[in-house]
Amino acid sequence: MVTPESAGWEPSVAQAIIDEYKSKPGALLPILHALQDRFDWIPDGVIPMIAQALQVTRAEVHGVVSFYHHFRTHEPGRHVVEVCRAEACQARGARALEAHAKASLGVDYHQTTADNNITLEPVYCLGNCACGPSVRVGDEIHANVDAAEFDALVDALRTERVEVLG
Amino acid sequence: MSIRIYVPSDTTARALGADRIAAALPKLAAEQGVELEIRRNGTRGLYWLEPLLEVETESGRYGFGPVKLRDLDSLLAAKFWLGEGVEHPLALGLVEEIPYLKKQQRLTFARLGITDPLSLDDYQAHNGFKGLRNALALSGQAIVDAVKESGLRGRGGAAFPTGIKWQTVADAPAAQKYIVCNADEGDSGTFADRLVMECDPFMLIEGMTIAGLAVGATQGYIYCRSEYPLAVKNLNAAIETAVANQLLGEDILGSGRSFQLEVRMGAGAYICGEETSLLESLEGKRGLVRAKPPLPALVGLFGQPTVVNNVLSLAAVPFILDQGAQAYADCGMGRSRGTLPFQLAGNVKQGGLVELAFGPSLRELMFDFGGGTFNRRPLRAVQVGGPLGAYLPESQWDTPLDYEEFAKVGAVLGHGGVVMFDDSVDMSEQARFSMEFCVAESCGKCTPCRIGSTRGVEVIDRIRAGQNVDNNLALLADLCDTMLVGSLCAMGGMTPIPVQSAVKHFAEDFRTNAVEEA
């Protein structure tokens, strides 16, 4: 169950990312995006490194990380599944879908399944509003997702993991 | 001779399987000895027909849709690549003759779905960069005047005259000014900004460059939400191409003028669609709303004069500079000039992008274009203008699509998103969601918004549970009033709009569990 590649983060890699972006005007968000793209989350340990590079306090960096929903302060499961909760998807059955997602995965939002495969997150609009309910996995958006479709999607993600390890 | 087939590539078409079709189709055709050249266009924005394949012929482009993988065999058997006269259940005839498309006035979205989004040749073959070429020959003031004369108003929702905003920035003395594009399209039911960025990114680049020339700004930022990965990708690719072709960057088209452009990503905060919050975020801070004044036009990004415009406002500019201010102003009604790209979403049979001159009624939009609900149940409520917009009952569906006419009935047009709900909707649940959304998305700076929204959820929960309904409804009205007048920005100030409209027009939904008190 342990996946060594994602178990930690390397300070030297983080420092290289920070150095790459630190001289941009308003560099903090670009730095945080680059770090999360690389590590899948924002580990606590990078906060003093960013504060040092940008000459701001740790509290300021922490404040920004915690303000934005997109930035995660805990390591996610192998796949992050985002379910759209917004009105246009509600009008097409998103409330039933989110109830099904939580029940079938046995988790609430911001939690990860016991097998560490799926982290469930809410999202407010993916811009796919004419063909909801919408679900995002990685950079892929899925349209017209009902309970059966959701199960198939999750099954595929779990199978994918077996293939990767196999 | 190979036959050219267009397969759409925007997020929705992909979500409906367009990539799988684009990969499978040429292989299947080759097995039958037919050579098909696949090109990826954006999308026509006719989403109920996606994935919509188009066959290029001498007499025009013939459409087939919505195509699923399992349809490919029968399409090939019917020789769909001949286009004209093909008999197949998915045959749609000439795409441009489809009434949904033909009845629109596509000024901003003239190229939508016709071109390959990243092809500079396609863009220039369809009037691209003509506006910029004209602008380079004009003084900054002449450009500002053209935008004023066009009557263009901010398409993000506030509808402030764009030309006046530009004039303020142009008149502000400063060594550095900025153009900031608000591409944080967070309103549910809207996707027009996404369509610009994914399907016609050069148009936004051109519009921003013209804005830079007009006000004397040399740096632009596009603040795009992180929920739109494909938009970010296409914008970056288009910027690279534009710079390589001297249409952006240093010495634009040999004019000696320069304009740099960079895409920045948001991070999932709805409030960053509010312009001052967006500026804070661009500066690398928490997205806390700033008090106004000072206006961002005078003290904006990094304290400098800044134009902050929505994607659609900036995207309208190339047309105005190409075809003339009058051509734009000739469309519309009253003080709402030009067109608004409406977006039909939610429980709608024919969802998609409908760009229309202001003036037709909401009912025409929802029924003549939208075709009513997707599941054939009666339509009951419509939320126009995003999560901060009013829910309109049937008695208001004849309201003309016009900023002032909507304001008269206590509603907003906003960014043109139209979300339709059938008769199974529980409006007290929708009102609760509006407050809940404000709890999740408030920046926390002012009390009415931060605390008021939490109290709002609690009060609505008590009403829904049937506790002391009359008194709690009075309390809710009072709370809404406090948020409306006491909040620092539109987040807290407009959250009461959907709530109050639900209470006013769908009162019965708030009394489901009410106990008659003796």
DSSP character string of B368-388: IIT-S-SS-SPEEEEEESSTT
Specify if A113 maps to a domain.
yes
Contacting residues of B for A123, CB less than 8 Å apart: 227, 268
pLDDT level of residue A3 (50, 70, 90 thresholds): very low
Specify if A138 maps to a domain.
yes
Question: Count of domains in chain A?
Answer: 2
Between B47, B226, B286, which is nearest A130 by CB?
B47
Q: Are residues A121 and A156 in the same domain?
A: yes
Between A26, A125, A131, which is nearest B188 by CB?
A125
Specify if A73 maps to a domain.
no
pLDDT at A4 over 50: no
Between B48, B284, B387, which is nearest A29 by CB?
B284
Is B189 in contact with A87 (Cβ distance < 8 A)? yes
B437 touches chain A (CB under 8 A): yes
Hey, what amino acid is at A125? C
B441 touches chain A (CB under 8 A): yes
Per-residue pLDDT reduced to its tens digit, A123-152: 999 999 999 999 999 999 999 999 999 999
Query: What is the least distance, in Å, from the CA of B518 to any CA of chain A?
Result: 36
Q: Are residues A63 and A84 in the same domain?
A: no
Residue-range definition of the domain harbouring residue A124: 79-165
Q: Are residues A107 and A146 in the same domain?
A: yes
Q: What is the chain A residue with the closest CA to B272?
A: A68
Specify if A148 maps to a domain.
yes
Specify if A94 maps to a domain.
yes
Is B281 in contact with A29 (Cβ distance < 8 A)? yes
d(Cα B307, Cα A128) in Å, to the nearest integer?
29
Is B430 in contact with A87 (Cβ distance < 8 A)? yes
Query: What is the least distance, in Å, from the CA of A12 to any CA of chain B?
Result: 23
Is A25 in contact with B12 (Cβ distance < 8 A)? no
Q: Are residues A85 and A155 in the same domain?
A: yes
DSSP letter (8 states) at residue B323: H
d(Cα A108, Cα A99) in Å, to the nearest integer?
9
Hey, what amino acid is at B447? T
Q: Best mutation site among A95, A98, A124 for testing chain B: the one with the most B CBs within 10 Å? A: A124
Q: Are residues A96 and A58 in the same domain?
A: no
Specify if A72 maps to a domain.
no
Contacting residues of A for B374, CB less than 8 Å apart: 92
Task: Note the pLDDT of residue A150.
Answer: 98
Per-residue pLDDT reduced to its tens digit, A10-19: 999 999 999 9
Task: Note the pLDDT of residue B423.
Answer: 98
Q: Are residues A99 and A63 in the same domain?
A: no
d(Cα B261, Cα B155) in Å, to the nearest integer?
21
Contacting residues of B for A134, CB less than 8 Å apart: 15
- Residue A88 sits in a domain whose CATH number is 3.40.30.10
Per-residue pLDDT reduced to its tens digit, A26-65: 999 999 999 999 999 999 999 999 999 999 999 999 999 9
**B346 sits in which H/E element:** strand B339-346
Is B11 in contact with A132 (Cβ distance < 8 A)? no
pLDDT level of residue A162 (50, 70, 90 thresholds): low
Q: Are residues A86 and A58 in the same domain?
A: no
Query: What is the least distance, in Å, from the CA of A113 to any CA of chain B?
Result: 23
Specify if A147 maps to a domain.
yes
HEC letters along chain A = CCCHHHHCCCHHHHHHHHHHHCCCCCCHHHHHHHHHHHHCCCCCCHHHHHHHHHCCCHHHHHHHHHHCCCCCCCCCCCEEEEEECCHHHHCCCHHHHHHHHHHHHCCCCCEECCCCCEEEEEECCCCCCCCCCCEEECCEEECCCCHHHHHHHHHHHHHHHHHHHC
Query: What is the least distance, in Å, from the CA of B463 to any CA of chain A?
Result: 20
Is B344 in contact with A86 (Cβ distance < 8 A)? no
Q: Is B59 helix (H, G, I), strand (E, B) or coil?
A: coil
Sign of CA dihedral B127, B128, B134, B139: positive
Tokens of B502: 């639900």
Q: Are residues A103 and A158 in the same domain?
A: yes
Task: Note the pLDDT of residue B94.
Answer: 98
pLDDT at A161 over 60: no
Q: Are residues A57 and A119 in the same domain?
A: no
Specify if A6 maps to a domain.
no
Q: Are residues A59 and A86 in the same domain?
A: no
The residue ranking higher by pLDDT, A159 or B479, is B479
Between A89, A124, A136, which is nearest B270 by CB?
A124
Q: Best mutation site among A92, A140, A144 for testing chain B: the one with the most B CBs within 10 Å? A: A92
**Domains by residue range for chain B, with CATH:** 3-102 (3.40.30.10), 120-329 (3.40.50.11540), 332-422 (3.10.20.600), 427-517 (1.20.1440.230)
Is B286 in contact with A64 (Cβ distance < 8 A)? yes
Q: Mean pLDDT, 10 residues at a time, over chain B (518 residues)? A: 92 98 97 96 98 97 98 97 95 98 98 98 98 98 98 96 98 98 97 98 98 98 98 98 98 98 98 98 98 97 98 98 98 96 98 98 98 98 97 98 97 97 98 98 97 98 97 98 97 98 98 73
pLDDT level of residue A160 (50, 70, 90 thresholds): confident
> Quick one: CA torsion of B139, B141, B146, B150, rounded to 10 degrees?
160
Size of interface A-B (CB pairs under 8 A): 152
Q: Are residues A48 and A85 in the same domain?
A: no
Its ipTM equals 0.95
Task: Note the pLDDT of residue B514.
Answer: 82
Task: Note the pLDDT of residue A165.
Answer: 45
Percent over 70 (pLDDT), chain A: 92
Tokens of B126: 């369809």
**Residues with Cβ within 8 Å of residue B388, at least 6 apart in sequence:** B187, B412, B414, B434, B490, B491, B494, B495, B497, B498
Q: Are residues A113 and A155 in the same domain?
A: yes
Tokens of A140: 């892929």
Hey, what amino acid is at A124? Y
